[in-house]
Structure 1
Amino acid sequence: MATPRRDTRGVRQDTQGIVDAADLLAHVDFRRHAPAEPLRPYVEQYWLIDWDLPEPYVSHVVPHPAVNIVFQHFTGERPFAEVAGVQLDLFAQKLEGRGRVCGIKFRPGGFRPFAPDRPVTDWTGRRIRQPEVYAATDPATVLTPDDEEARIAALDAFLLHHRPRPDPQADLAMTLVDRIHTDRTIRRVTDFARAEGISVRLLQRLFAAYVGVGPKWIILRYRIHEALERAETDPEVDWAALAADLGYADQAHLVRDFTATVGVPPTTYAQALTPASTSRA
């Protein structure tokens, strides 16, 4: 895997949300990079993937509460860009032949300043190719350069051209989602809203307009991300203890949510992992 040459401070290096991350990393070359300094309040990271596969491969991701802009080039297709709103269900992507992806992952709440005329719920559950707001951008300018630094610079230039508008509500949404992500004691929307001095209704309206999903969905999704990561790094997971740590009433509720999100119960998932997954613990 290529060693990043750009400053990556502040870029998350975990594999939260990736189903069987070790298997994915065995099939593709996956890297993360930090954006230019002026973009960091809005953009969590750039993510780059290249592949050259003898056989088709399907990746699966439990989505984050984040909007992505993705520049893509698949074998036999013209390069294209799309806005991928927050996906509500397990996301599958088939990869085959050779290809390249350059993605922009916005912080939850960070996309709205780049598309201020529409609530973020307008993008939720959708993948829109070359939407009118970005139609003037040629995806090849991002995807064509073989030099990785040139691709990152093209992503910076693209976003800086669409200069974000300062928005205190976006800042508030980003702060609140960060708090949910890092504070495992946040388990109920009503308690969270009360602690923040906001009514539940106003909190839900803020998240609809700026994040694309509600706070209850986000609390649940981060629980599942943590359960996935624990399964991949700890071959002896105590699921009852983990359920308690994540704020579930009992193990059965964790099993229900995990199964509904990932498609299999957590014990089945852990047993089926690629052997390299748990060797990273």
Structure 2
Amino acid sequence: MSDLIKPSLGIMNLQQTARKFQLSRVAPSEDLAFFIRHYWIIRWDLRGQEPYTQHVIPNPCVNLVVEPDRTAIYGPGKEKYGHYLEGHGCVFGVKFKPGGFYPFFKRPVSDMQAGPLSVQNVFDTDPLRLEADMFAQTDERQMVELIERMIRPKLPEQDAQVSFINEIIDYINEQPDITKVDSLCEHFHVNKRTLQRLFDHYVGVTPKWVIKLARIQNAAEMTDVSVRPNWSKLSMDLGYHDQSHFIKDFKSIIGQTPDEYARQAQ
């Protein structure tokens, strides 16, 4: 098992909210790394303070979340979501790689848009027992070892399509000028309908949405570190030829216009 991964991606306004909670990310053991991106642990102590809602940008990953009375497996979201923090507590999560949960599930991940899955249905584990065991641990590595003991008996064979999907998504993230699914099809020599069907089954969202998400997340992160963002230049840098289209996409995922988000971040 490798060392802690530096937390950053996906947490909105992380620098401004770091005093509200602590976030750790831990890499999986080698035998699970084909399917799992990392484990994440959030701890907070707001006793004597006002409750706080932390917003997170969506991502094309399935997450298994262990939380008192809310333990479940959640499919990819399509807009930002908030986690309400009050008092003190801890949440443990397993973030699967894009496509990495499908070999466990063996059904289209898009079906998860209807609602979360019980860990009982996939890993034969009672969620209340898992919660009790997880939060009895005092060390993050013990928490990771516990969840890995639960996952290993259900470990499927490695699926080459998972690697292919992650190659595509890495390419999207590394190439900000990619704006159309047709460009992906041309680069990876794959039929458009085949690619869409692959993403429906393995990822649960469309490749078009993943492209849009990558660009908007990039914009949000650049906004976090820029005192006065130049929206026209930023939208062009991200491949938008129409600033109004950029603003519309930004609001559809972040829930605010770029100007509103920048004012809040500052």
Asked whether 1:142 is paired with 2:137, we answer: no
Distance in 1 (CA, whole Å) between partners of 2:7 and 2:85 is 22
Output one character per residue of 1:126-172: Cα deviation in whole Å (capped at 9) or x when no partner: 33344412342531222320122211211222222221222222222
Among candidates 101, 121, 124, match of residue 110 of structure 2: 121
TM-score (norm 1): 0.86
Residue identity opposite 2:75 in structure 1: G
Cross-structure match for 2:62: 67
**Match runs of 1:1-281 below 5 Å:** 7-8=2-3, 11=5, 13=6, 15-54=8-47, 55-73=50-68, 78=69, 80-116=70-106, 118-124=107-113, 126-137=115-126, 138-139=129-130, 140-273=132-265, 275=266
User: CA offset at residue 125 of structure 1?
Assistant: 5.9
TM-score (norm 2): 0.91
Name structure 1 gaps, 5 residues minimum: 1-5, 276-281
Name structure 2 gaps, 5 residues minimum: none
User: CA offset at residue 222 of structure 1?
Assistant: 0.8
Residue identity opposite 1:175 in structure 2: E
Residue identity opposite 2:37 in structure 1: E
Task: Report SS of the residue matched to 2:45.
Answer: strand
Distance in 2 (CA, whole Å) between partners of 1:166 and 1:213 is 21
Residue identity opposite 1:179 in structure 2: Y
CA distance 1:178–1:212, change in 2 (3 Å):
same
Task: Report SS of the residue matched to 2:38.
Answer: strand
Distance in 2 (CA, whole Å) between partners of 1:50 and 1:238 is 35
Aligned residues: CA RMSD: 1.9
Q: Mean Cα displacement is larger for which, 196-205 or 175-184?
A: 175-184
Contact 1:88 1:125 in 2 (8 A): no
Q: When you count helix as a share of all residues, which structure comes out higher?
A: 2
